[in-house]
Amino acid sequence: MQKILIELHYLPCLDYFKTILEANKEGKEIILEANENFNKQSYRNRAYILGANGKLALTVPVQKGSQKTIITDVKIDYKTDWNRKHWQSIKSAYGKSPFFIHYADFLEPIYENPPALLWEFNYKLLTICQKLLRISIPSKKTDSFDKEVDSNILDKRNSITPKKPAIFAHKEYYQTFGNKFENMDATTTAFENNLSILDLLFNEGTNAMAIIKG
């Protein structure tokens, strides 16, 4: 069986979901990289949403020395109340969006009581997001770290990062603080591509999957 190898992200962007959806459609098995060392300045602990002041990064703080730690053992740093701030930022950005009222109750509890480990937090959020998208994409974890992979594995590790441009030009959709539509004035900012899946879910709801598929 053909496989695709990819790391786990925090509130993944649209590129991430389109990548795993296409792989699943092609019959590829999804393998999550669980034995790499933590890589800072990546989507492993960062997501982007769109608020009143533009694009906003949400970064989950991790304990010092995490870059030498296997990703499944990386501990979240709770010296600050980052979880409350993240949820407040999400509410401020999407509280008036069409579908926030329908989805907020699925997400708020995990921000009120997040787990100790980054991997567990990300995996729970990925599971919730799949539920809200009404999809179920089975996945497995790696048993060991392999820099080079077998020929039947498509290695997508580090292919989706904040430092690289988006892989896909996603279909434009309504954004509470973003779009330039004909019925909006000229001061409205342009569409922001490839934000966290939350942006699409809160703004488009059940139409989200159709937009991801393009």
Say yes or no to pLDDT of 187 above 90.
no
Is the CB of residue 181 less than 8 Å from the CB of residue 109?
no
Between 66 and 203, name the one with better pLDDT.
Answer: 203
Residue 69 DSSP class:
S
The predicted-structure confidence for 107-125, as pLDDT tens digits, reads as follows 999 999 999 999 999 999 9
pLDDT confidence of residue 66? 87
pTM for the whole thing? 0.93
Distance CA 158, CA 153 (A): 15
Can you give the residue ranges of every domain in the chain? 3-213
Say yes or no to pLDDT of 182 above 50.
no
Distance CA 26, CA 42 (A): 27
Distance CA 12, CA 6 (A): 12
The predicted-structure confidence for 15-54, as pLDDT tens digits, reads as follows 999 999 999 999 999 999 999 999 999 999 999 999 999 9
pLDDT confidence of residue 179? 55
Distance CA 24, CA 21 (A): 5
pLDDT confidence of residue 185? 53
